[in-house]
């Protein structure tokens, strides 16, 4: 064993040295405190101490089910499950439906099967739009921000890879025509979904992933990058509920980079892995212990779900409504900010890579100037207001601070002056997105 043993003179020397370092550190910080005001970024938007998002896959969801559960989750309307929660919950969508199954299963309580699921096209027929207008409407409403791959291509015969590049090209053509720009991709389904990407490894269950293989008929990640998709869930679920960072870099096989993100999807038990990503397991996902730990550790949580996956009359029963109400209470009491996945991920990027400078004006005010987001994967870009919503700086006196984006002072309506938080420090924020609890099912193009 290789071990450093300190002799007594050695210990004295070490103590002297650490004392000297301490003095130097004090002088350095003493000087900086007198010349540049102390400004520090707070981990999360004031007053919150953690951030949480649902990332729900659209499997088994009919338009009626989609409307039903978003009405409960996002609005404050009276619903059969009680008063809505008014949370910011996004969702995913499909362009195509091309699954088969040896035993057709019912996707709702009306005995509908997979062809009733909300998809942009009918099957893979690009001349027949199905729920395109509805998907467009909900994208604009902010209830959809992710694509669950291009569609459901899970097959009984896992060697049948049907989602080839021509389908990817057609999908992006139509999305661009409609102005639908999802920037999150979530892999779906079994090995027949060769278009999946982000976790290819020749000796694991992900060996089937071909979406980023330039030489494959399923290649399409050049289109993913060209269409500004920034985030991918690569089919690897997480057992951890919270993370210091929701994002991690992925280098694709075609040489491009993209952000991967963690999604809590299962619990480890002594019997093995228990996937908790269905609406009937919400009570297992959302426990007071987990939410308290998320707050105490100042972490991000993205929770995998399949809100429309059931086939009962209502997506949530009492056992699972209660934990959702509890989560809403964590937000209402200023502990956990619930945000759609795209907002959480972009906040994470902005928080990690925002560049700013701090100076003192002639009037003695502190000027914080936001310059750019130096995204190491997507390059540096100038800051826009929506990139930095929620960003909060600890400052001595928020009322003596001026916030700038580049050369422009922030509109006062976008600035928030905060009292001391649990650390005792005061802060100033760029306001988070205004709550939107409007019931978009009421204005949906196909009246329900």
CB of 103 to Zn ion, least distance (A): 18
* 116-146 core/surface letters (b: 16 or more CB in 10 A; e: else): bbbbbbbebebeeebbbebbbbbbebbbbbb
130, 155, 188, 262: which one contacts Zn ion (CB under 5 A)? Answer: 188
56, 59, 99, 301: which one contacts Zn ion (CB under 5 A)? Answer: 59
> Measured from the CB atom, is 63 or 390 closer to Zn ion?
63
Task: For the segment 351-390, give every residue that binds Zn ion (CB under 5 A).
Answer: none
> Measured from the CB atom, is 37 or 161 closer to Zn ion?
161
Total number of residues that touch Zn ion (CB under 5 A):
3
First to last CA, the chain: 72
Alpha-carbon gap, residue 189 to 99, rounded angstroms? 10
DSSP string, 164-226: -HHHHHHHHHHHHHHT----EEE--SSTT-TT--S---TTSGGGG--TT-TTSTT--HHHHHH
Q: Residue written as tokens 């420090």? A: 425
> Measured from the CB atom, is 57 or 88 closer to Zn ion?
57
Per CB under 5 A, does 91 bind Zn ion? no
Per CB under 5 A, does 98 bind Zn ion? no
Question: Which one of the spans 3-11, 42-50, 52-60, 322-330 is the region binding Zn ion (CB under 5 A)?
Answer: 52-60
Length of the chain: 448
> Measured from the CB atom, is 276 or 429 closer to Zn ion?
276
Per CB under 5 A, does 195 bind Zn ion? no
Per CB under 5 A, does 343 bind Zn ion? no
CB of 189 to Zn ion, least distance (A): 5
> In sequence order, which residues have a C-beta less than 8 Å from that of residue 266 and are 6 or more positions away?
237, 238, 239, 273, 274, 275, 276, 277
> Measured from the CB atom, is 305 or 369 closer to Zn ion?
305
Task: For the segment 281-300, give every residue that binds Zn ion (CB under 5 A).
Answer: none
> Measured from the CB atom, is 188 or 426 closer to Zn ion?
188
Per CB under 5 A, does 57 bind Zn ion? yes
In 10 A of CB 11, how many CB atoms? 10
Closest alpha carbon to 156 in 186, 189, 127, 123: 189
Interface residues toward Zn ion, by CB under 5 A: 57, 59, 188
């Amino acid at each position: 064993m290789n071990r450093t043993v300190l002799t007594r003179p050695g210990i004295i020397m070490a103590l002297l040295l650490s004392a000297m370092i301490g003095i130097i550190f004090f002088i350095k910080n003493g000087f900086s405190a007198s010349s540049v005001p102390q400004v520090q970024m707070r981990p999360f938007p004031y007053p919150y101490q953690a951030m949480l998002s649902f990332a729900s896959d659209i499997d088994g969801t009919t338009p009626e089910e989609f409307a039903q559960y978003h009405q409960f989750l996002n609005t404050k309307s009276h619903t059969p499950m009680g008063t809505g929660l008014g949370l910011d919950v996004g969702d995913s969508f499909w362009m195509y439906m091309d699954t088969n199954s040896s035993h057709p299963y019912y996707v709702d309580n009306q005995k509908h099967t997979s062809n009733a699921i909300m998809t942009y096209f009918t099957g893979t027929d690009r001349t027949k739009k199905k729920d395109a207008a509805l998907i467009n409407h909900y994208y604009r409403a902010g209830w959809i921000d992710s694509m669950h791959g291009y569609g459901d291509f899970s097959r009984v015969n896992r060697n049948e890879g049907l989602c080839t590049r021509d389908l990817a090209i057609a999908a992006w053509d139509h999305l661009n025509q409609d102005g639908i720009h999802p920037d999150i991709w979530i892999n779906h389904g079994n090995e027949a979904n060769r278009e999946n990407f982000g976790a290819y490894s020749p000796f694991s269950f992900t060996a089937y992933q071909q979406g980023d293989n330039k030489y494959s008929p399923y290649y399409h990640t050049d289109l993913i990058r060209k269409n500004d998709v920034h985030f991918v869930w690569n089919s690897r679920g997480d057992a951890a509920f919270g993370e210091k960072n929701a994002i991690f870099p992925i280098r694709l096989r075609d040489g491009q980079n993209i952000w991967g993100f963690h999604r809590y999807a299962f619990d480890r038990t002594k019997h093995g892995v228990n996937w908790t990503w269905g609406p009937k397991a919400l009570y297992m996902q959302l426990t007071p212990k987990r939410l308290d730990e998320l707050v105490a550790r100042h972490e991000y949580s993205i929770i995998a779900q399949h809100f429309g996956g059931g086939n009962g009359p209502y997506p949530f029963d009492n056992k699972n409504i209660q934990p959702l109400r509890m989560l809403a209470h964590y937000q209402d009491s200023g502990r956990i900010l619930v945000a759609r996945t795209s907002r959480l991920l972009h906040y994470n990027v902005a928080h990690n890579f925002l560049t700013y400078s701090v100076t003192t004006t002639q009037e003695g005010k502190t000027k914080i100037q936001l310059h750019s987001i130096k995204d190491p994967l997507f390059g540096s870009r100038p800051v826009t207001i929506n990139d930095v919503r929620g960003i909060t700086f600890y400052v001595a006196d928020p009322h003596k601070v001026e916030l700038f984006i580049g050369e422009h002072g922030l509109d006062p309506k976008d600035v928030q002056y905060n009292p001391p938080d649990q650390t005792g420090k005061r802060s100033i924020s760029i306001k988070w997105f205004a709550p939107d609890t409007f019931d978009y099912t009421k204005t949906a193009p196909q009246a329900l």
